[in-house]
């Protein structure tokens, strides 16, 4: 079940955040070339800001020290990116999750940004149906402080900041789920889903830009990561 919190952020806050995102375009990481990570279900350029575990921990030759340095660098970028952003997202998510929230950094990325531009063939974008099991990758980290049996209540969240003219959303197993800009979508990680393709007509100005992350609960606290 997906919980929806409409108008979770204001138009003003969203505009500021989007401006900040485009101001740091040189720091966007192009994720097209994923052959070494065997994620062949993507087609065309797309980008991230941050260090998502499903990309940067999800291959066998991971250099933990290099990963830690990348997490540290991009967490600094993300702190600066959100510096003018008025919403206190951890506190707000804490209200929806009913427990105090903490970041998992410096071990992992704070919530980050996905960016999908308009391009030829976007209507054929192949998002792989999956469950958000990224938390299992965190056990690769030598300093991860929890045991698997301690970790429970896994959740994911997404805030669409900018959607294509014809809309954007998720492909679920049997239907397409449509997003609304500036709403918070919160769900258990067991939901099978994939990023939905762009609908036609696709405009040159179309973007799909989302703020997103994951979390899990240990005892009385929940921890955010990406």
Average predicted confidence (pLDDT) for the chain: 85
Mapping DSSP to helix (H, G, I), strand (E, B) and coil, where does residue 146 land? coil
Confidence category of residue 38, pLDDT binned at 50, 70, 90: very low
Which pLDDT tens digit goes with each residue over 95-130? 566 566 677 878 899 889 999 998 766 665 657 788
DSSP 8-state class, residue 222:
E
Confidence category of residue 190, pLDDT binned at 50, 70, 90: confident
Q: How large a percentage of the chain has pLDDT more than 70?
A: 83
Confidence category of residue 171, pLDDT binned at 50, 70, 90: very high
Q: What is the pLDDT of residue 160?
A: 97
pTM of the model: 0.89
User: Using CA atoms, how far apart are residues 225 and 218, in angstroms rounded to an integer?
Assistant: 14
Which parts of the chain are beta strand (E)? 2-5, 29-30, 47-49, 101-103, 112-117, 152-162, 169-172, 176-178, 184-188, 193-195, 207-218, 221-225
Confidence category of residue 84, pLDDT binned at 50, 70, 90: low
Q: Which residues pair with 155 in a beta bridge?
A: 188, 215
| CB 158 within 8 Å of CB 185 | yes
Span 174-187, mean pLDDT? 94
Domains plus CATH for the chain? 2-225 (2.60.120)
């Amino acid at each position: 079940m997906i919980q929806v919190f409409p108008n979770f952020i204001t138009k003003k806050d969203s505009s500021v955040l989007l401006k900040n995102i485009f101001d740091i375009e040189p720091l966007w990481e192009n994720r097209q070339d994923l052959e070494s990570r065997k994620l062949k279900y993507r087609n065309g350029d797309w980008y991230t800001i941050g260090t998502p575990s499903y990309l940067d921990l999800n291959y066998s030759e991971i250099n933990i020290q290099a990963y830690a340095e990348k997490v540290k660098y991009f967490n600094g970028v993300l702190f600066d990116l959100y510096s003018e952003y008025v919403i206190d997202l951890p506190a707000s998510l804490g209200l929806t999750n009913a427990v105090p929230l903490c970041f998992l950094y410096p071990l992992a990325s704070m919530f980050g940004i996905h960016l999908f531009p308009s391009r030829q063939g976007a209507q054929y974008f192949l998002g792989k149906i999956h469950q958000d099991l990224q938390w299992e990758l965190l056990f690769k980290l030598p300093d991860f402080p929890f045991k698997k049996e301690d970790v429970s209540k896994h959740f994911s969240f997404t805030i669409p900041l900018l959607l294509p003219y014809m809309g954007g959303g998720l492909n679920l197993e049997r239907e397409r789920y449509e997003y609304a800009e500036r709403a918070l979508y919160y769900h258990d990680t067991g939901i099978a889903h994939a990023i939905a393709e762009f609908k036609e007509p696709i405009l040159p100005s179309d973007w799909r830009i989302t703020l997103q992350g994951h979390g899990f609960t240990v005892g009385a606290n929940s921890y955010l990561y990406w």
